[in-house]
Structure 1
């Protein structure tokens, strides 16, 4: 089997496997928004949005606060202002604080533990602002809130002391109104016991938790609407069949945080599940000071993602955005029977004007109904064809103004879908993709080495080029026992052997493998470990193998380390510098391991500390290998190279 054909087979296998995964987890999910029921057969047209101030309530969401002992004290001061001024102005029925309430990171940002002072800061903000008396404050745990916690009963679990909710596990909160009940189901996917950073980046649900969530889902079926909320996106939750997305399919939306808008690279992370449930990741408070307002107006769900202290706050509740509509969960036909455009407008100063345009045609100024509700009479039948854009311009008495706009459709037969990247990020189970990639990479390396060792016989033709020399050098590596078996063992060990043994949790010795983490009698399935394993292969195993191949090629050309440097100094330096850079990167990983898990973990870490010592030994062996062991390869190579060619 030729090397080229072999590489094509491996690449084809990888592509086909990834395509299958993406088709299963994404391909059928980035669909257009479901069309509403046919208008003439509508069964839920009333009560339709009109000129009354009933059948409406609103709430807020805030996520990833990261109150820190060491960094950015304004996170806390701004949160206090949010709990006083913002909550006072908007007066939400409830506030969802969806995890990572505290930072729990040491000053070096890598070591992790719970700091009581951070929790005290958070609690004192809630107490001083009396926000729990003004609204229902539902604060839940995130992965940072569970760093380095041996058990829920541990004295280090400050969430049970200083939070407002102080509840673990699935929970059902019912918001009761004169026009119906609205269910809020909490998904607690945090890991218990809680490892140190980064091994709880993925959340996990066991069968018992899934059964409880299933029961709560059935119980909520009597409510007008159900919202699920949690810290993790569904793409970062590991759950048994039928999976967390299937379980929440009866909900109008799942509200979460965790991804921080990918550091600002994805300003909007929203999508829709196959059965119509919206998944709405909220940007972080930590750096971006984001929060969200959501509302149910005559059982039509709408929301807006906002920036703190940016007034006025405006939310158009009727007509709602078509992109965020679901005929499965909402009575969308009420849009057709509505009599008024409805807008929520908030500001610390009085609102002076609310101007409404549709398709850039001035429709009029909305009038104040009560509280933050503004209405403007309209005839939706005038907009029953195609889609239209509503724009609202709100100004307050201080001159501040806000412009909001979205596309709506009364007819409901336009084709829209969410952007590819947000859907891919939120709908793909990335730990599955990482697992498949990791296995494919490990198997491909083992397969290539064994194939070259037992079946591949190199016959150079003509003057060898770069590709031929690369294949030749890999062949030399595969047929030189000490290096072939070393690379095979290292690759095999990263796949199956323990990476390190140390205090995964303070006082609790654990063991880390590619396929999971074992600590204090608990085994957590591999997730982030596969990502780390892929990084380890591409920054250690492959660079080390490439450097050994290059060294053996030079040895076959008759060079030693000293003659090689003298003869081709300018060409030699970049190769050695690149290898040194990868080695320094590995040493940096050793330092991070030491900072995160202590000296014990570094001492008992075959894939970090031990490998840092083994790599220079292998390199030295390559440069000092007896010429007799390379004679056959050297003869083959020199027969195709001129005497002066190196």
Structure 2
């Protein structure tokens, strides 16, 4: 017990140390970039539209992805003619053919550059209208910006136009309105290799620069401005800055309309939308204020071939996601596409306060068609009357071209004022010169600016509405707290319950005097914990192993490039050293290491500790059962009570009982132990699966030589199995 009281303070000390670690740098490989590049484009009207694509994943092993860009994007851009074209990260795949490791491939970047040169040239668009930013795949294994592996700085469109700042401010200036697009690159400053490169990592300096740029447009009270931000990472996958600051408060405070992102691909959901409501700080005498902005995640181009058309019509933001690829293959030509810009969809695009909402007596729609448009009509449907047609209006072109793309008409919006935001729906039908009819999807609207509730699936809520940085911390420390209690509580119970050897007699008394069905339920957990922790040597090994995981490196590996310096991964993140500059960077990739730490803690370490206890409990159960049989077979009086029987047979479950034959129970027949050994084999299998996964990612040699990750779990299990063998089990094993 003396060892217990020495180790308990050590556990608490190490927990405090790891919890207080803030990942501050002992040096910096380069300063965080908060610079802003600014560009201004003029508009002919106050209606504009842009195109967004995300997650291209150009790969040397899948050349069809770049071919699809040329085949599908060129005809689409010729017809849509957007003011801006946004590429929101993950430009290249940066993985080997087996997708087991990450590394930058210059051929993929050359392929991307050649492909986009063709797209720009054949679409007829100005190259300055194209903006691309980094994703986590574009930073895999890049030690720092400017390194020889930083191919984004050589082959991206932004680099060709000298836009290497982490923040792009793009202003579209119309007749009365100004539309500001703010692009933010939140990829890791030092690009770790996957899978510990999953989150966006803004710095305090970058957030301050974003706030400064947004505040600049608020300083002009007479300017009509709509702000849109775009980046690669969703808010749920962006870590907090060094001081715990986040973008949500800045976007809400400075009235950002929406934030566009990618990263999650369409495999999770095709409608990952979220309305953020943020409480803004105010004086105690002033009423509480709440700021809002939308977040719209776009599916990937890699598999879904989806693009987003986002339109702003005098401050009203709407969008439409268009798939250029069907189940039967790519579409022969760009299909007629209709985007209603006003009235906007009340489910996902109306964030206006009804008290300040100014009703507009017009209907506007963008029609993108490869063929001249003959007729455009808007239909108003009433959902309370089985979507019966209420009114039909003809829309007329508002541009110099005879076939659009902007069509509008006047109407009496006051006729459709209703308390419900989903009663009235609108659908636009288009007839081209060949007589082909195309109809938009019906969408609800509210002329009063009311917002309809948006249904969320459990998967959407889990992926998009939970901050994974916080969830990781909760899950990690829940696991660690459980293991600490699991180790410490039994020793405390031993200390208070085993004085004067009363515990064995009490346990045997319960096991002998009461039938199994009548034994008290609370006895079994106590008995499990006490008997499982009897082996002091193994218990100390588990304590030291947990302390090691809390404070010391889990493994070593190539954290940046395949031939880079070997770095160390701790529970608090990576520590990367740069010998040339004698600089060390600590706490990198937190919470990105979630992909390694949580599976290891929940599927390896916790089951490992549990099985060590189970093996010892199985041995104690065997000895108790054998002792009970011996007690029952003693030639004593039938009137002898259980206490007298226990005095007649003094049992120590930690020592073998010579001459006791196995009874026909499950424990003595070995079925329980066989099941436990099978579970141990499963843990070993999962352990080596994860080790091989980590070895493929960061190098087989360094990881294999890392004791905490590679050696300790199977050694602890082997020691537990060996030390809990009963005489009969040892005899069978030798045979």
- Please indicate the TM-score interval, normalised by the length of the shorter structure: 0.7 to 0.9
Counterparts of 2:612 and 2:99, CA distance in 1: 35
Q: How does 1:230-629 map to 2 (within 5 A)?
A: 230-240=231-241, 241-249=244-252, 250=254, 251-261=256-266, 264-274=267-277, 275-308=291-324, 309=331, 311-323=335-347, 324-327=349-352, 333-334=357-358, 336-338=359-361, 340-359=362-381, 360=387, 361=389, 362-370=391-399, 371-386=404-419, 387=421, 388-394=424-430, 396=432, 397=434, 399=436, 401-413=438-450, 416-417=453-454, 419=456, 421=458, 422=460, 425-455=463-493, 457=497, 460=507, 461=510, 462-464=514-516, 469=524, 471-506=526-561, 507-520=564-577, 521-523=584-586, 524=588, 526-530=590-594, 532-558=596-622, 568=669, 573-624=674-725
CA displacement at 1:471 relative to structure 2: 4.9
CA displacement at 1:158 relative to structure 2: 0.8
Match of 1:5 in 2: none
From 195, 200, 222, the equivalent of 1:203 is 200
- More divergent stretch after superposition (365-374 vs 248-257): 365-374
Whether the 8 Å CA contact 1:514–1:530 is kept in 2: the answer is no
Question: What SS does structure 2 have at the residue aligned with 1:404?
Answer: coil
Whether the 8 Å CA contact 1:148–1:505 is kept in 2: the answer is yes
Q: Any idea what the Cα deviations from partners look like across 1:321-368, whole Å, max 9, x if unmatched?
A: 12322226x99734x232x31111213234454443222315144344
CA displacement at 1:133 relative to structure 2: 5.6
TM-score (norm 2): 0.72
Match of 2:74 in 1: 84
- More divergent stretch after superposition (548-557 vs 223-232): 548-557
- More divergent stretch after superposition (565-574 vs 483-492): 565-574
TM-score (norm 1): 0.81
Are residues 463 and 587 of structure 1, via their aligned partners in 2, closer, same or farther at CA, if it must alter by over 3 Å? farther
Are residues 615 and 85 of structure 1, via their aligned partners in 2, closer, same or farther at CA, if it must alter by over 3 Å? farther
Counterparts of 1:363 and 1:467, CA distance in 2: 73
Whether the 8 Å CA contact 2:622–2:668 is kept in 1: the answer is no
Question: What SS does structure 1 have at the residue aligned with 2:157?
Answer: coil
Q: Any idea what the Cα deviations from partners look like across 1:433-488, whole Å, max 9, x if unmatched?
A: 21122112211221232112112547554345798656533322223212322222
Counterparts of 2:411 and 2:265, CA distance in 1: 39
Counterparts of 2:438 and 2:679, CA distance in 1: 55
Whether the 8 Å CA contact 1:83–1:126 is kept in 2: the answer is no
Q: Any idea what the Cα deviations from partners look like across 1:261-292, whole Å, max 9, x if unmatched?
A: 4xx23221111121211111111111112211
Are residues 175 and 133 of structure 1, via their aligned partners in 2, closer, same or farther at CA, if it must alter by over 3 Å? farther
Counterparts of 1:137 and 1:414, CA distance in 2: 33
Q: Could you say what the CA RMSD is over the residues aligned between the two structures, in angstroms?
A: 2.9
- More divergent stretch after superposition (479-488 vs 96-105): 479-488
| Structure 2 residue ranges without an equivalent (≥5) | 1-43, 278-290, 325-330, 382-386, 498-502, 578-583, 624-655, 729-735
Are residues 283 and 468 of structure 1, via their aligned partners in 2, closer, same or farther at CA, if it must alter by over 3 Å? farther
Are residues 58 and 489 of structure 1, via their aligned partners in 2, closer, same or farther at CA, if it must alter by over 3 Å? same
Bigger Rg, which one = 2
Are residues 229 and 272 of structure 1, via their aligned partners in 2, closer, same or farther at CA, if it must alter by over 3 Å? same
| Structure 1 residue ranges without an equivalent (≥5) | 1-52, 628-646
Whether the 8 Å CA contact 2:104–2:141 is kept in 1: the answer is yes
Q: Any idea what the Cα deviations from partners look like across 1:291-332, whole Å, max 9, x if unmatched?
A: 11111112211111221257222211010112322226x997
CA displacement at 1:542 relative to structure 2: 2.0
Q: Any idea what the Cα deviations from partners look like across 1:153-209, whole Å, max 9, x if unmatched?
A: 111111111111122412212223333332111211101210100122011112222
Whether the 8 Å CA contact 2:430–2:439 is kept in 1: the answer is yes
Question: What SS does structure 2 have at the residue aligned with 1:103?
Answer: coil
- More divergent stretch after superposition (218-227 vs 570-579): 570-579
Counterparts of 2:674 and 2:146, CA distance in 1: 57
Counterparts of 1:169 and 1:553, CA distance in 2: 58
Are residues 539 and 108 of structure 1, via their aligned partners in 2, closer, same or farther at CA, if it must alter by over 3 Å? same
Counterparts of 1:186 and 1:491, CA distance in 2: 43
- More divergent stretch after superposition (463-472 vs 285-294): 463-472
Question: What SS does structure 1 have at the residue aligned with 2:559?
Answer: strand
- More divergent stretch after superposition (615-624 vs 580-589): 615-624
- More divergent stretch after superposition (226-235 vs 364-373): 364-373
Match of 2:280 in 1: none
Q: Any idea what the Cα deviations from partners look like across 1:485-537, whole Å, max 9, x if unmatched?
A: 22223333333321112211121221111112111322226202245322212
Match of 1:58 in 2: 49
